[in-house]
A and B are shown apart, each in its own frame.
Chain A
Amino acid sequence: MNEQPQTDEWLADGEARVNTYRLLSEAFHVPDHELLELLEDVAGDDDLRVTVAIGGLVSELPDEIQSLRVDYAKLFVGPRELLAPPYGSVYLDGKGQVMTDSTMDVERRYRQEELDVTLDEPADHVAAELEFMYLLAHREVTALDNAEFETATIYLQKQQAFLGTHLGRWLPEFADRVEENAETEFYRLLAREAATFVSADSTRLADRLDEVQNSSPERIGGTDDSE
C-alpha cells in the first residue's frame, strides 16, 4: 500500500475529472426527466466534486422539457440540418460521413477496454467518447486508490492518447457549433463548459502523468498508446 502524501490530492482531482466526464456524457443524451433529476441532484450535492458550473446549467433548464428535446434534436439528431453533428468522424476525416477510419479506431480502443457500444449511434458519438474518458479516468482513480501506480499510469496514458487522437481534437469545433446554433441557453452553456473542461484536461492529464511518474519512478512502466 502506498502512503505518499500526494495521493489524496490526486484522488480529489481524479474524482472531479471522473464526475465531470460522467456528468457531461449523460448531458449529451436525449434529455428526459431522469437527466433533469440527475442534474439537479448533482447541483444539490455540495460534496460532489465536478469541474463544470453545474448550478448555472441547472438554472438554465427550461420549465418544460419539450423545448429541450426539440433543441437537442435540431443540434444532434436532425432530421433537418444537423446543426452540431455529434460524431467525431465528421470533424476529423472531413468526408461528411460517419463510420470512417477514425470511427473504427475509436471502436478498436473501446474493444481494448473490453467494451461493447450499446448506444444506437456510431462509436464516436460525443456521449460515448465522453463516457469512455469517464471510464478510463475511473479505472485510473481506482488504481491510484489501490496504489497500483503502474496501472494508473497506463490509464492516464490511454486517456491522453484518446483525448489527443479523438475527443480533444474535435470537441472544440463541435462546441462552437452548439453555441452558435442552440436555441436554449442550457445547451449553449453545456457546450461552453464541455469545451472549457476538455481543453484544459489535456494539461491536467499531462500534469497528473508527470506527477505519478515522478513520484514513483520505480513502479512506472506503462505503455505508449499515443498515436
Chain B
Amino acid sequence: MSKTHTETESNDNHDVAPMARRGFLKLTGAGAAAATLGPNLTSFTEADSVPAQMNEGTDAEWRKSTCAGCTSWCASQILVEDGRAYKTQGNELSKIHGNNDCPRMDLSLQQLYDPDRITQPMRRTNSEKGRDVDPEFEPISWEEAIDEIADKIMELRDNEETHKFMLTRGRYTYLRHVLYGSLPKIIGSPNNISHSASCAEAEKFGPYYTEGEWSYRQYDVSETEYVLLWGADPISTNRQVSHYSNQWGDVLDQAGVAVVEPRLSSAAAKADEFMPVEPGQDGALATALAHVILTEGLWHREFVGDFTDDSEFVAGETVDEESFDETENVYGLVKWWNKELKDRTPEWAAERTGVEADQIERVAVDFAEAAPHAMSWVGGGPVMQVRGSYNSMAAHALNGLVGSVGNEGGPMYAPSDGTADLPDPSPYVDEVAQQGIDFPKENGSGDKIDQRGSKEFPSLKKGKSGGGVVTNNAADGVLEEDPMEIEMLISYWNNFAFSNPESRRWEEALAKIPFMISIETHASETAHFADILLPATHHQFERWGQLKSMANRRGQTSLLQPVLADDPNDPEDVIDSRLWNTKSSEVEIPYMIADELADRGFTNMLDFFEEQFADPETGLAPSEEYDDRELKAQAFARNAIKLRMQPLWDPEMDAPPGDEYDGWDEFREAGIWNSEEWEYRNRWPSEGGEFGTETGKFEFYSKTLEKALGKHADRHDTDVDDIMETCKYEARGEQAFIPHYEEPYVNGEDMEFDFVEHKSKLNREGRSANTPLYQEFKDVDPGDEPDQDVARFNPVDADRLDIEDGDEIRLVSPVDEITCTAKVWEGTQPGTVVKTYGQGHWAYGDVASEEFGSEPKGGNNNRLHVADYDRLSGSSVTYGSMRVDVEKL
C-alpha cells in the first residue's frame, strides 16, 4: 500500500479536497490511499504531446524581417534557434544593402530581451499625474484594459464628443492604416497626429517646391564624382546607412567629398573638404555656391539651357530674361539670379558662414565640374531651422544647376513598389463620427489639435494648407484646448515627452489629459503619464508589418514578421512565441478594441475589420477562423499584411517590374521585394518625362510654392507678405517663391554659445539608450564618451571658461536647463557647444537613466530647445536656432 494519499482516493478533481486540487500533498500514515492526483501546474503544461523535436529543440534558422531602428528600414534576417533570436544581419536578397547592416540593427536584440520592457498591461492607481508623481501601476489583464478603453470610447460617442479623442503615432509600419488611419476616423476624431514633423519634414520641402516630390531622396553614390553633404552623415545617421557605409570607401576613392557641418562629423573626418559653417548660415553657403556655379559658367547646359547671346552671369548685375533660353526642363533660373543670386558672392557668404571665400569658390567649381555626376545631399541640420524651408530649397536646387536631378550620380527617388492600399474605412464612418471629424471646421484654430492650417502654421505638405503635421504644437493645442479639449489619448510607439523640443510642455499636456493609453515596449517619459499601459511587441521580431527603403537606384519593400514563431501564419504559434504578453500596436490592439466595442453595440469598426480584411488566400474573415479574441486579432494582423503585399506575391495581380513570386509563402520566406533600377532622367521633360510641379519643370522660381502660399493666404483673407511675417520669414514679394538666404532666426540671441546638436549613430530613434551596448560604445559618436552624456567645447572656449574633461556643467537655454559632462574637443568650432541627441533619459530603463523614474543620465537636449518651428513645413526646430549659456558646477 502506498503511504501517501491526497485527502481522498478519488481521481475526480471535483470530489477531492481543495488542497489536493491545488496540488498539495498530505500524508496520512501507513495504510492510506495511494497518491492519485498528479501535480497541479500553473506555469507549465505537462506536455505529453510535446513533439520529439521539441525535446531536442529546433534547428537554427535565418528568418527574414525588417529593422525599424531608424528610417533606413533595412531588410534584415534573424538567426532563431529554439525560439530565441541570436543574431541579426541584412537580408542577402536585398539588392540595396545585401547582408550588410549597421550597428543599430545589432542593438535590437538587447531591446528584445531587455528585462525593463513593459511585459503586461498595467493600470495607474494614482490619479495624480506629474513628472515627480509615482503612477503606482498595477498589473491587469488584457480584458480589463480593453474594457476600460471601450468604456471611454463609448462615453465619448454617447456624448457626441468624439472630437475629444486623440491618437499620436511614432515609429510605424505600413499597417499604420489600421490604428492611425482608420480607428480615429471610425470613432470620429480628426486628431491622428504623427511624429513626422519632429523627424525631418523640412528636408522634403526643397525637393517638393523645386521638383514636385515630397519625399526623402536616395543618392546614386556608386556613379557619382562629387558629393556635397549638408549636415548629412551617411555612414552614421542618414538614411540607408547599411548601403552607404558599405559603399563609402569607394566613394572616397572615386569622388570628391565636401561636408558642410558646424562640427566634425564621421563623414567630415574623411572628407576632402570640411566646411565648418556657422550654425544656421547654410543658406548663405548654398546661394553663394549657386552664385559661383553661374558666374563661372559651370551650370549643366543640357538640363538648364544657355544664353542666346554672349551674356553671362556677372556678380551684382541682373540679366535680361529674354537672353537666356531655358530648356523645357527648368523654370525661372534668371528670376532666381536676378532676385537672389547675383549678390551672393563668396565674400558675402564668407562673412556670414565663417567659411573662407576661397574654399566656397573651390568647392563650387569642383562640384560643378563633376556635373552632372554631382550630388547636393541635404540632411536635417541645415533645414530643421526656423527659416529652414528656404535652405532646403537652396541646397537642393544646386542639383538642378548641375543637372544631376534623377540623373546618373545624383539624387533620385524610389521606383514604385506596388503595395496595395488597405481598404477605405469611410463607409463605416457614421453620423456621430462625421460630426466629430468636422468639429475643427467650425471651432478653434487649424484642422486638428496641432493647429495645422491655421494662419501661423501653413505646413504646406504637398502644396496644401495644413497638409502636414505640426507635431510639437499638438502640446499647445492640448494645453490651450484649441481647437478642442482632449479627453482621451492613445499614444503608440512614440515618446513625445522626450523627443519634442521644449519637452516640458508635453509633460504638462499629458498630465492634463484625463485618460491616456500608452502602447510601447518600454516605460518611456511619455508612458509615465499613462492611465493604461499596453505592452507592445518589438517591430522586428514579434509582429507583422511592412517598411520600404531606397538606395542603389532601387526601391525595396520588406516584411516585418513574428520571426520567433516557427509558423508565423498560425496565430496560435505567434502568440505562444512571444516572450511576454505583448500585442502589436497597429493591428491586434485595434481589433481587440473593435471587438469589445461591438459587444457594446457599436459595431462599425469590427464590421470594417471583418468585412474588409478576409484572408486573401482562404477568403476567411478573422471570426470565421477563430472564436478567441486574441487569436482573431492575430489572424486579422496576418490578413492585413497579406492584403497589403498581395500585388507582390499573387501572380494574378499586377505589380510594377521587380522581383516575382509565386505565392504568399514563397514571398514570406524571402521577406523582400526589389524594384527594377531607377531609369535615369525619366522625369526630365526633354526625355519625355514631367516633374510634379505646377509647370511640370524643375522650378528655380517655384510656381508651386507661389500657388500654395497664395491659397493659404486666401484661406486667412490676407496676402503672402502677411503670412511670411506671421511665420517669422524675412522674404517679401516674389522672394518668397525662390530659394533664398534668410538670416537665421535665433532664440536666446544674447546667450553665449550656439547650440549644435546631432544624432547618435547608435540611436534607434529614441529607443536604444537602455541597451548596454549603446552605453558601452557611445564613443562611436565622434567626441563622445562611453556611458556618459557630454557637451563638447573647443579648447579655446574651454580654456577661457576653465573647463576640463569630466567637469559637471549646466547648460541654460531660453526655456530650460540641463546638467551634463564637459569634454574638450577640437572637432567643436569656437563659440559653439556640440551635444549628441540621445541621452538624458529619466525613464525608459535602468541603463538609460541614472535613476529609473527620477534622475536623468546627463540631459535631454529637447529640454533646452525652444518649441519653435519652420512653419512652412511644420517642422520642429533643433538646429541652428538657439543659443545657450554654460555654467561650471
Contact = CB atoms under 8 A, between A and B. Distances in A.
Interface in A66-110: 66, 69-70, 72-73, 77-82, 85, 87, 90, 95-100, 103-104, 107-108, 110
Interface in B21-50: 22-27, 29-30, 34-35, 38-48, 50
A11 B50 contact: no
Contact of B84 (A69, A80, A99, A135): A99
B735 interface: no
A173 interface: no
B137 A73 contact: yes
Interface of B (DSSP majority class): loop
Contacts of B579: 98-99, 120-122
B857 to A, nearest CB: 13
Given A22-B22, A22-B24, A81-B846, A108 B57 contact: yes
A73 B2 CA distance: 43
Interface stretch (B114-122, B442-450, B589-597): B114-122
A97 B118 contact: no
Given A15-B4, A69-B139, A96-B847, A118 B39 contact: no
A146 interface: yes
B18 interface: yes
Interface residues of A, number: 71
Name the residue among B26, B39, B50 with the largest chain A CB count within 10 angstroms: B39
B44 A115 contact: yes
Contacts, number: 189
Contacts of A103: 84
B118 A79 contact: yes
B822 interface: no
Nearest to B530: A79
Interface in B849-889: 851-853
A212 interface: no
A82 B125 contact: no
Interface string A107-132: 11011101111111110010110011
Contact of B24 (A19, A79, A80): A19
Nearest to A7: B3
Contact of A134 (B23, B82, B83, B138): B23
A78 B116 contact: yes
Interface in A5-34: 7-8, 11-12, 14-15, 18-19, 22-23, 25-26, 29-30
Q: Give the bracket for the number of chain B residues in contact with chain A.
A: 35 or more
B254 interface: no
Given A41-B19, A87-B115, A48 B26 contact: yes
A66 B123 CA distance: 11
A125 B120 CA distance: 14
A15 B26 contact: yes
B29 to A, nearest CB: 7
Given A115-B45, A145-B2, A79 B26 contact: no
Contacts of A100: 113
A114 B48 contact: yes
A151 B50 CA distance: 22
Contact of A47 (B26, B44, B523, B843): B26
Contact of A114 (B24, B55, B580): B55
Interface stretch (A136-144, A162-170, A215-223): A136-144
B772 A128 contact: no
Interface in B519-536: 522-523, 527, 533
A38 interface: yes
Contacts of A82: 115-116, 846
Interface string B498-540: 0000000000000000000000001100010000010000000
B374 to A, nearest CB: 47
A161 interface: no
A15 B19 contact: no
A42 B23 CA distance: 12
B309 interface: no
A1 B41 CA distance: 29
Nearest to A37: B18
A79 B113 contact: no
Contacts of A72: 138-139
B653 interface: no
B802 interface: no
A38 to B, nearest CB: 6
B136 interface: yes
B25 A19 contact: yes
Contacts of B116: 78, 82
Given A79-B122, A145-B3, A118 B110 contact: no
A129 to B, nearest CB: 9
B686 interface: no
A103 B113 CA distance: 11
Given A96-B847, A104-B82, A116-B50, A18 B25 contact: yes
B2 A121 contact: no
B623 interface: no
B44 A118 contact: yes
B84 A104 contact: yes
B3 A11 contact: yes
A135 B39 contact: yes
B732 to A, nearest CB: 52
A146 B2 CA distance: 6
B138 A66 contact: yes
A40 to B, nearest CB: 11
A63 interface: no
Contacts of A66: 125, 138
Contacts of B3: 7-8, 11, 145
B852 to A, nearest CB: 4
A78 B23 contact: no
A183 B38 CA distance: 36
A142 B533 CA distance: 44
B246 interface: no
Contact of B4 (A77, A111, A116, A145): A145
A45 B115 CA distance: 38
Name the residue among B35, B138, B522, B847 with the largest chain A CB count within 10 angstroms: B138
Given A70-B125, A135-B41, A107 B55 contact: no
A141 B44 contact: no
Nearest to A131: B43
B27 A49 contact: yes
B581 interface: yes
A70 B137 contact: yes
A80 B44 contact: no
Interface string B408-452: 000000000000000000000000000000000000000000000
Nearest to B82: A104
Contacts of A41: 18-19, 22
B228 to A, nearest CB: 43
A21 B229 CA distance: 64
Nearest to B580: A120
B44 A135 contact: yes
Contacts of A26: 22, 42
Contact of A111 (B54, B84, B578, B847): B54
A80 B115 contact: no
Given A66-B138, A77-B122, 5 more contacts: A70-B137, A78-B137, A80-B135, A115-B45, A116-B44
A-B pairs, 10 with minimum CB distance: A79-B523, A81-B852, A120-B581, A119-B43, A138-B39, A69-B138, A128-B43, A80-B853, A116-B47, A115-B44
Interface of B: 1-4, 18-19, 22-27, 29-30, 34-35, 38-48, 50, 54-55, 57, 82-84, 110, 112-120, 122, 125, 134-139, 522-523, 527, 533, 578-581, 772, 843, 846-847, 851-853
14 contacts: A12-B27, A19-B24, A22-B24, A29-B42, A70-B136, A73-B137, A79-B527, A97-B110, A97-B114, A98-B113, A114-B55, A115-B44, A134-B23, A146-B2
Interface of A: 1, 7-8, 11-12, 14-15, 18-19, 22-23, 25-26, 29-30, 38, 41-42, 45, 47-49, 66, 69-70, 72-73, 77-82, 85, 87, 90, 95-100, 103-104, 107-108, 110-112, 114-122, 125, 127-128, 131-132, 134-135, 138-139, 141-142, 145-146
